[in-house]
Amino acid sequence: MRLPERQLAVLEAASATDERRIDELAATTGLKPETVTGAAFDLRDEGLLVVSETTSEHAELTDEGRRYVADGLPETRLYRAALDAGAGDGPVPMGQVIGAADLAGHEVDVALANFPRKGFGAIDSGELSVDADADPEADPEATALAALAADNDADDADDPTDIDVLDRLASRGLVDLVERTTRAVTLTDAGVDALMEGVEAAETVGQVTPELLASGEWRDAEFTEYNVEADAPEVNGGRKHVLRGTADRVKDVLVGMGFQEMAGPHADSDFWINDCLFMPQDHPARTHWDRFALDVPPMADIPEALLERVEAAHREGVGPDGDGYHSPWSEEFAREIALRGHTTSLSMRYLSGYAGAELEPPQRYFSVEKVYRNDTLDPTHLLEFYQIEGWVMAEDLSVRDLMGTFEEFYRQFGITDIRFKPHYNPYTEPSFELFGEHPETGEEIEIGNSGVFREEVTKPLGVDCDVMAWGLALERLAMLTTGAEDIRDLHGTLADIDFLRNAEVSY
């Protein structure tokens, strides 16, 4: 039998009784590990070798991790500097210790977050005190980092460290947990027989070189066959994020349906976020529990006439049968600034005419923008997410128009089974929630909220015809189209990188 040289070398280095790993074979044969792998697969295809694969998780230091191995963890440096500054005897000013610890930029935050967590001491009103009994030498995170630095060169070292500590280091960005595939080979009976019968090296050429061409040697050379099935290293390029892709698709669809795009501030006055929507000022969604209030000066430029009409709607209601809320209404509250909890603030700005929209019916507007809510994180809730806001202004709109619009919109994403549930909003009547079925779990998930604006909303804005409107969740749409089951796979620090690399956005 004749085999290319590299295959022969690997065959001779393999054993019938012991598994030999690729790196061992590379060391014995003097070939590159990739070459050994290629040869091993070719020999396997010839039936001369068995190739086994095991995958294991392996921790590698990041640049930041490596820096802390050299300089010490920021919290440990803070601890030492605090001790030196006399914090063992009583609290010392934080600024002074940070300066002495020589912590720069991001390291200050890292130190301040981890110092109390590890029980090194406490931070209170700008002062630092230390627990003199704390022992940074024995800190498992520091020990694990040092151990990883020591055996990073020895590829085969099993990670000695507790998986919780590794997870923590990974979440701090100090190590990357990577999956590794280790391959090993053993001779088959056919392989042993071939070696016993004698195998000759066939000189083969892997690549045409200028020398081969110039000398004409290529004419007689035997070329190595391509193995198009061999594993190649995966290359991941940059790519548009799934959510951004979905948002772009949504914009295309809505523009195709005749909508124009709205834009406006993320931080806005309560007036635009809530008061215009006839949301009573004592509504639970307007308390500090649900809203991210900002400690900035109130909004000065709210159109005076509109402010008066909105206040009157709250106090007295609208129209001859109007009644109002009989609850307190304060202009001061209306001018306060918060992060918008919905993008209906943009709809109010546009419908009022102050954002420059044309208001001769029919009109259609949309936005795909971020909103902020003080919710509890769970698989379907984030503190910030994207809303697909929209409204249609026309004479005599009905619920059928609303349902038809959604059916047409979702159909563009292949979703044809949306369901409607009657709902209550302070600003729409009637109101509907929308549900879609999750393709993986089969669960009905809420995908949006909608309705026809009440007169108490439209009249003060100066709008005389009907306006139907909605807020749909972009992340939920992405969950339906990609099959993601947890919103946190889509964005945020826990996002699933493989999913982001591979998920398809349908166009």
428 binds ligand PHE (CB under 6 A): yes
What type of residue is 15? Answer: S
Distance in Å, CB of 341 to ligand PHE, minimum: 7
Distance in Å, CB of 45 to ligand PHE, minimum: 59
Q: How far is CA 184 from the centre of its chain?
A: 36
Stretch (H or E) spanning 107: helix 106-117
Distance in Å, CB of 23 to ligand PHE, minimum: 56
CA–CA dist 391, 224 (Å, integer): 65
Token pair for 477: 């749409």
406 binds ligand PHE (CB under 6 A): no
Residue 7 dihedral angles phi and psi, to the nearest 5°: -65, -40
449 binds ligand PHE (CB under 6 A): yes
Distance in Å, CB of 400 to ligand PHE, minimum: 17
Distance in Å, CB of 441 to ligand PHE, minimum: 23
- Best CA proximity match to 367, nearest among 391, 394, 351: 391
Q: Which one of the spans 252-260, 314-322, 393-401, 448-456 is the region binding ligand PHE (CB under 6 A)?
A: 448-456
For ligand PHE, the closer CB: 35 or 449: 449
The answer to whether 434 and 498 are in contact (CB under 8 A) is no
Expressed in angstroms, the distance from the first to the final Cα of the chain is 54
The answer to whether 252 and 319 are in contact (CB under 8 A) is no
For ligand PHE, the closer CB: 5 or 433: 433
344 binds ligand PHE (CB under 6 A): yes
For ligand PHE, the closer CB: 344 or 380: 344
Residues within window 173-232 making contact with ligand PHE, judged by CB under 6 A: none
Distance in Å, CB of 266 to ligand PHE, minimum: 15
380 binds ligand PHE (CB under 6 A): no
Q: Among 161, 188, 352, 425, which residue interacts with ligand PHE (rule: CB under 6 A)?
A: 425
488 binds ligand PHE (CB under 6 A): no
Torsion angle defined by CA atoms of residues 160, 165, 171 and 174, in that order, rounded to the nearest 10 degrees: -50
Residue closest to ligand PHE when measured from CB atoms: 471
Q: Among 161, 224, 450, 458, which residue interacts with ligand PHE (rule: CB under 6 A)?
A: 450
Q: Is the peptide bond before 362 cis (omega within 30 degrees of 0)?
A: yes
For ligand PHE, the closer CB: 41 or 366: 366
For ligand PHE, the closer CB: 428 or 481: 428
Residues 100, 104, 108, 110: is their CA dihedral positive or negative? negative
CA–CA dist 391, 402 (Å, integer): 10
The answer to whether 131 and 119 are in contact (CB under 8 A) is yes
Q: Among 20, 58, 342, 349, which residue interacts with ligand PHE (rule: CB under 6 A)?
A: 342
CA–CA dist 475, 409 (Å, integer): 16
Distance in Å, CB of 449 to ligand PHE, minimum: 4
The per-residue b/e assignment along 318-341, b for 16 or more CB within 10 angstroms, e otherwise, is beeeeebbeeebeeebbbbbbbbb
Size, binding site for ligand PHE by CB under 6 A: 10
For ligand PHE, the closer CB: 37 or 449: 449
Based on DSSP, count helices (H) and strands (E) in the chain, helices before strands.
21, 19
Report helix, strand or coil for 375.
coil
Distance in Å, CB of 388 to ligand PHE, minimum: 10
For ligand PHE, the closer CB: 103 or 351: 351
For ligand PHE, the closer CB: 336 or 369: 369
What type of residue is 227? Answer: N
Residues within window 463-482 making contact with ligand PHE, judged by CB under 6 A: 469-471
Token pair for 450: 């909608």
- Best CA proximity match to 344, nearest among 476, 468, 475: 468
Q: Which one of the spans 84-92, 248-256, 356-364, 449-457 is the region binding ligand PHE (CB under 6 A)?
A: 449-457
451 binds ligand PHE (CB under 6 A): yes
Residue 55's CB is within 10 A of a number of other CB atoms, namely 9
Binding site for ligand PHE (CB under 6 A): 342, 344, 425, 428, 449-451, 469-471
